[in-house]
Every structure is written in C-alpha cells, then in structure tokens.
C-alpha cells in the first residue's frame, strides 16, 4: 500500500500498517522531510512512533519516497493523508487532496482502493472520485498527462477500477499509536460492500466497532465528532466564567455533572481554550460550509467565539492582577497546545504571547518540546533551559500547558525565584489553597 502525506495521520497509518505486515511506501512531496524520514528522523514529536517506524523500516516493510508515481503504480491500496489546512478566512483548502486525486488518475495502472484519511469537507470523496475519472478519461483520449512509458492511450489498462472510500481518523496527537490501535470505532464511508470488506481486513487486528455508512455520512461524522468535543470544552469554559462571578468551582461543578452518564466526564476540563490542528480548524470549516449552504449554525459559531474569548481572557486576567503589564517580565510555562507534543498550531500560547507583547510585557518562556517551533513565530521571546530559569525575577507567571514537568515543580522554589509571585494557572493543575499558603497571588480558571 502507499500512504500519501507524512504528517501525524499518514505516519501513524503507515507505521501501524507496516507493523501489521503490509508493505508500505510513505510518500511526501517535501524532499527535506522525506530525506529525514529515510535516515530515521521524525519531523514530529509523537511518543513511540519513531521506534515503530525505525523497526519496520529496518525490517523492509516501510519506505519513504517523494516518487508519487512509482508509489501509486505499485500499490493496491492508496491512503490519502495529506494536510487540509485553513485558508486565511477559515475555509478548508483541499488543494493537496485534489492534487493527489489528479496524480492517482494520471498514474493509476490497475484496480485500486483509495482511502481518504485526511479530514475533508462533505462531498470530497465524490469529488476525488470524479477527478480520478476525469484524468483517466483524458489519458484514454490520449490527451497529455501520461507518464513517460505510458504515452499511448492503450497504456491505460482496461481494468482500472478505482474506488474511493472515506475512513476518517480519530487519533489524538501525543497518543496517536494508542488511539489508532484502540479506537472507539472505525468509521468507513463506502459505495460498495467490497470496499468495506477490504478496509475491514486492513483493520482486522483493531478491536473496535466497525461502522459502515456512505462517504458523505463518514465525512460528516468526523466534523460532528470534533465539533461536539470542542463544544464541550467551550461550554465548560463558559461555565467557568460564570463560576468566577458567583464564587463556584468549575472543577467541582464538572465532576458533579460528569456523574450523569449521559454527559460523561471527558472534555470537561476548563482552561485557556483548545488549540491544535483540528478543533479550531474543523469548527470554523463546519461553520463556513453551513454559511455556504445558507444555513446559520449559531452553536457551531459560538464554539469558536467562546474559545477566542477564553484565549484573550488570559492577558485580561493578568492585567486585572497586575494593573499594568508594560515592562513586566512574564514567565510563560507551556507553549504547545497540549502536553506531550511539540505542536503549536493554533495553540493558546500564540494568542497569549501576542497579547503580552502588545501590552509591552517582556516574555520569557519554557516548554519541554515546543520552543523550537515557537521561536520561529516569536523570535523576540526569551527561551530558557528549564522552568525555574523562566520564572526567575518574573513579575508574573502563566501556565498554559499541563506538562507533567510543571505538575512536578517545586512551587516553594518557584515562589522564592519570582520577583512578584503572581501565578495564573491556565490549566487548573494546582490547588488554590496550597498555592496561596505558599504566598502566591494565585488565579486559575473558574475557581475561587
């Protein structure tokens, strides 16, 4: 099989399928990234993935290439796992998926099953099917696009049956392997029972409900799942703001609410807002898709609005604690959008540091993994080798990511190092009473 796109999803699918015993070629157009992968260096930080990739590459089941033509021709199954980034206005840019579809149409040399793993707007599976068919028709008519050895229209074999299926991925960064191997369900959107059967066999070693539906339903299941989870977070964050005004504790409230099994305990941690490459992008995309259809979705819109307010609220809160931020040295603990990843895409830290700099504060930051990426966006930030160095002489500290390293901090030492012990715990990881007993001017999210 071949997996096109070497991001979190593509690399995980490729590594696991190789480990299942398939021969996998992982394709990416980025030559530098591919060269790194060929040498066994991962472009991302994802626990356990490098070992799995190295093992399967060493055993000859997993290879990396930029040669999309060769990879397509040799594969029976083609996974599309390229990125679907946001356009500046928040729509989905499916350009990379469409380009892959065209390549498949140009190089296909026999029956193939194409499985779309990328998160794509509804209707994409159908559009990809059409694009492949158009390229094939063009080749059959002899019009360009054929490969060197396939210039003649006859080079298109009679049996070039390409079926396209949707199989959205629900893995989370930082637990990608675990999530892929033990998902809550495998959703497949197909147009034929045969395609469903092929995918079922691929997932034979994955013990999870196998849900077969149409491609458009599968595409929408992915968006609905992410929007629903993001909604839970925005909702509990909104309740957290209410808690602050009435003197309630959002963690206690969430705990009490979660006992109702119809609601459940997941995704009810109040904080500085959600980030990452999925929730922010997918909720905005759903909103745009609805608008394009002339449908207003106020709940979906509110998910993003509340999240933006939550992120901006950090500096607002700090200003309330300090009076002015101008000239204050602020220690930022945590830059990645969540722990155990180096990913800063749409991370709350981007909004917080931007707002701090706009208020003329000086920012000293520490993150166990994400400083390399953050430096490229905010070179004016000072980065430190450890969290203690970051808080030294700081006039305030703000914790944005709940890394275990921060939970393990010697807070008495942190208190001694700070010039002014103002601590904003944006992930509610410390006990307010204990922090105040240590002498901190402590604030958190939705707790008094």
Between residues 348 and 387, which has the closer beta carbon with respect to ligand UGA?
348
What does R_g of the chain's alpha carbons equal in angstroms?
24
Distances in Å between the Cα of 57 and the Cα atoms of 19, 24, 61, 279 are 10, 9, 6, 32
Span from 79-87, 205-213, 276-284, 382-390 in contact with ligand UGA (CB under 6 A): 276-284
Quick one: how far is CA 158 from the chain centroid? 40
Question: What is the smallest separation between the CB atom of 146 and ligand UGA, expressed in angstroms?
Answer: 36
Cα–Cα distance, 423 to 441 (Å, whole number): 6
Point out which span in 166-174, 198-206, 244-252, 297-305 binds ligand UGA (CB under 6 A).
166-174
Secondary structure (DSSP) of 108-169: --S-EEEEE-S---TTHHHHHHHHHHHHHHHHHTT-S---GGG-SGGGS-S---EEEEE---
β 162-166/112-116 pair status: parallel
Residue 309 within binding range of ligand UGA, rule CB under 6 A: no
Task: Report the nearest approach of ligand UGA to the CB of residue 320 (Å).
Answer: 22
**Which of the residues 319 through 358 are near ligand UGA (CB under 6 A)?**
337-338
Single residue of 91, 140, 172, 375 touching ligand UGA by CB under 6 A: 172
CB of 399 to ligand UGA, least distance (A): 12
Distances (CA, A) of 121 to 84, 304, 412, 418: 9, 18, 50, 48
Asked if residues 364 and 384 have their Cβ atoms less than 8 Å apart, the reply is yes
* Nearest CB to ligand UGA, comparing residues 47 and 110: 47
The residue within the footprint of ligand UGA, chosen from 3, 132, 167, 268 (CB under 6 A), is: 268
Q: Which residue has the tokens 């296909």?
A: 108
The reply on whether position 173 binds ligand UGA by CB under 6 A is yes
Among 20, 210, 267, 388, binds ligand UGA (CB under 6 A): 267
Q: Which of 100, 278, 322, 409 binds ligand UGA (CB under 6 A)?
A: 278
Q: Considering beta carbons, is residue 105 or 276 the nearer one to ligand UGA? A: 276
Cβ(117)–Cβ(81) below 8 Å? yes
287 binding ligand UGA? (CB under 6 A): no
From the list 2, 167, 243, 278, the catalytic residue is 278
Task: Tokens 């997993």: give the residue.
Answer: 62
Structure tokens at 364: 């000293």
Stretch of 103-111, 192-200, 268-276, 439-447 lying at the interface with ligand UGA (CB under 6 A): 268-276
- Contact between 274 and ligand UGA (CB under 6 A)? yes
**DSSP secondary-structure letter at 303?**
H
- Our CB check for ligand UGA shows the closer of 162 and 335 to be 335
Nearer to ligand UGA, 107 or 170 (CB): 170
- CA–CA separation, 209 vs 186, rounded Å? 6
- Interface map 113-132 toward ligand UGA (x if CB under 6 A): ------x-------------
Stretches 266-274, 357-365, 383-391, 434-442: which one binds ligand UGA (CB under 6 A)?
266-274
Helices then strands (H, E): number in the chain? 18, 14
Beta bridge partners of 383: 365
Closest distance of CB 421 from ligand UGA, Å:
25
Asked if residue 72 binds ligand UGA (CB under 6 A), the reply is no
CA dihedral 393, 396, 401, 403 (to 10 degrees): 40
Looking at residues 190 to 249 of the shown chain, list those that interact with ligand UGA (rule: CB under 6 A): 226, 229, 233
**C-alpha span between 291 and 76 (Å, rounded):** 38
Sign of the C-alpha dihedral computed for residues 208, 58, 78 and 154 taken in this order:
negative
Annotation marks residue 278 as catalytic: yes
Tokens of 316: 């607002």
Catalytic residues: 278
Interface with ligand UGA (CB under 6 A): 119, 169-173, 226, 229, 233, 267-269, 271, 274-276, 278-279, 337-338
């Amino acid at each position: 099989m071949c997996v096109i796109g070497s991001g979190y999803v593509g690399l995980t699918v490729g590594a696991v399928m190789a480990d299942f015993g398939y021969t996998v070629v992982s394709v990416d157009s980025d030559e530098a990234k591919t060269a790194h992968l060929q040498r066994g260096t991962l472009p991302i930080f994802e626990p356990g993935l490098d070992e799995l990739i190295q093992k399967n590459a060493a055993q000859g089941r997993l290879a990396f290439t930029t040669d999309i033509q060769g990879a397509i021709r040799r594969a029976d199954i083609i996974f599309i796992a390229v990125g679907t980034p946001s356009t500046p206005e928040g729509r989905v840019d499916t350009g990379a998926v469409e380009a892959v579809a065209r390549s498949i149409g140009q190089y296909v040399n026999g029956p193939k099953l194409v499985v779309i793993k990328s998160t794509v707007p509804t209707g994409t599976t159908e559009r990809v099917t059409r694009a492949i068919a158009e390229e094939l028709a063009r080749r059959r008519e002899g019009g360009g696009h054929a490969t060197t050895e396939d210039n003649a229209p006859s080079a298109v074999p009679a049996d070039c049956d390409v079926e396209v299926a949707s199989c959205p991925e629900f893995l989370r960064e930082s637990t990608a392997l675990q999530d892929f191997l033990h998902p809550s369900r495998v959703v497949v959107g197909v147009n034929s029972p045969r395609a469903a059967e092929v995918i079922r066999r691929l997932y034979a070693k994955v013990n999870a409900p196998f849900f077969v539906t149409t491609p458009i339903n599968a595409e929408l299941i992915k968006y609905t799942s992410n929007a629903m989870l993001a909604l839970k977070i925005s909702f509990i964050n909104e309740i957290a703001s209410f808690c602050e005004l009435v003197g309630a504790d959002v963690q206690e409230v969430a705990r009490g609410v979660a006992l109702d099994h119809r609601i459940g305990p997941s995704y009810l941690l109040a904080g500085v807002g959600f980030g990452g490459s999925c929730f922010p992008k997918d909720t905005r995309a759903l909103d745009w898709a609805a608008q394009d259809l002339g449908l207003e979705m106020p709940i979906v819109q509110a998910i993003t609005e509340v999240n933006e307010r939550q992120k901006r609220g950090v500096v607002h809160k700090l200003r309330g604690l300090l009076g002015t931020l101008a000239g204050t040295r602020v220690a930022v603990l945590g830059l990645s959008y969540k722990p155990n990843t180096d990913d800063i895409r749409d991370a709350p830290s981007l909004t917080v540091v931007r707002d701090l700099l706009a208020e003329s504060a000086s920012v000293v930051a520490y993150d166990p993994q994400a400083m390399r990426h953050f430096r490229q966006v905010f070179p004016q930030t000072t980065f430190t080798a450890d969290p203690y160095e970051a808080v030294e002489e700081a006039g305030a500290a703000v914790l944005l990511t709940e890394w275990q390293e921060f939970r393990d901090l010697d807070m008495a030492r942190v208190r001694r190092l700070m010039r002014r012990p103002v601590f904003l715990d944006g992930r509610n990881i410390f006990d307010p009473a204990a922090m105040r007993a240590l002498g901190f001017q402590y604030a958190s999210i939705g707790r008094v």
